[in-house]
Amino acid sequence: MVTLPEISEVLSAHPGVRRAETAIVRHDGRDVAIAAAEFSEYVSGPILRNYVWRELGDDSGLAGVVIVEDMPMADGAVDVEYLASAVAEGRCTLFEDPGDDVERRVAAIWSAQMDVGSVGVNDDFLELGGDSLSALGIIAAIETEFGRSLDVYEFMSAASVRRLAEILR
């Protein structure tokens, strides 16, 4: 089992991160592991989450990463209240597996076109590292798979597997 300090240590070694702390946060009636990362170069939560998963395995238990300017501290430890509010306000994308077949097919297309191992249904396309090449690739693959053409604007405003699946259903 991976420990919270191990997650923090791996995150701190990422070139875009100065410092990281991990804590357990109560959200939606369950306990989730959330990390806060002080960034030095712009880097997104989903990219850091996938980085940890690659280093420690996708069963490492890390659900999401909050990007912070300065580490929020309370009583000498990372401020759990701050992390909980970041999750509640949607400032921290939590990983979620596809819920049905359409989401699964869209996520598989994203994963193949973007060369990303883990795609959560709420992950934002740009935060997951998408670029114009993968955007055009996904739009073309969706047209082949679902027989529906999307324009670039529709795709970019949907921006997540879940909202894209809603359009395609």
Partner 1 sequence: MVLSVRQRIADIARAEPDRTALVGFGTDLAEQVLSWREFADRVADTADTLRAALGRSTRSCAVLPAGNTLPAAIGIAAALAAEVPVFPLNPGTPPAERDALLRLLGRRFTHGYLMDAQLRPRRMDLPAASEGPGKFSTVAYLLATGASTGIPKISARPGPLRYDPVQTASPVIRQAGWRTGQRQLIVGPLYHAAPFTAFIDALLDSNTVVLQPFFAPQWTVELVRRYAIEWLQLTPAHMREILRQSDLDPTGFASLRAMLHTAARCDADTKRGWIGLLGPERVYELYGATEGIGVTLVRGDEWLVRPGTVGRGFLTQIRILDDAGHAVPPGTTGTVFMRTPQRVGRSDYVNGQAIRTTLDGFATVGDHGRLDRDGYLYLEPRDHDTINVGGEKVDPDEVEAALRDHPAVVDAVAVAVPHQTLGSVVGVHVVLRPGTSVRRAELAAHCGRRLAGYKIPKHFTFVDQVPRSAAGKIQRWRLAPYHENGASPP
CB of 97 to partner 1, least distance (A): 23
Nearer to partner 1, 60 or 67 (CB): 67
Is 68 a residue that touches partner 1 (CB under 8 A)?
A: yes
Is 42 a residue that touches partner 1 (CB under 8 A)?
A: yes
HEC letters along the chain: CCCHHHHHHHHHCCCCEEEEEEEEEEECCEEEEEEEEEECCCCCHHHHHHHHHHHHCCCCCEEEEEEECCCCEECCEECHHHHHHHHHCCCCCCCCCCCCHHHHHHHHHHHHHHCCCCCCCCCCCCCCCCCHHHHHHHHHHHHHHHCCCCCHHHHHHHCCHHHHHHHHC
Is 67 a residue that touches partner 1 (CB under 8 A)?
A: yes
Is 70 a residue that touches partner 1 (CB under 8 A)?
A: no
Binding residues for partner 1, rule: CB under 8 A, are 39, 41-42, 44-45, 67-69, 91, 126-127, 130-133, 135-136, 152-153, 156-157, 159
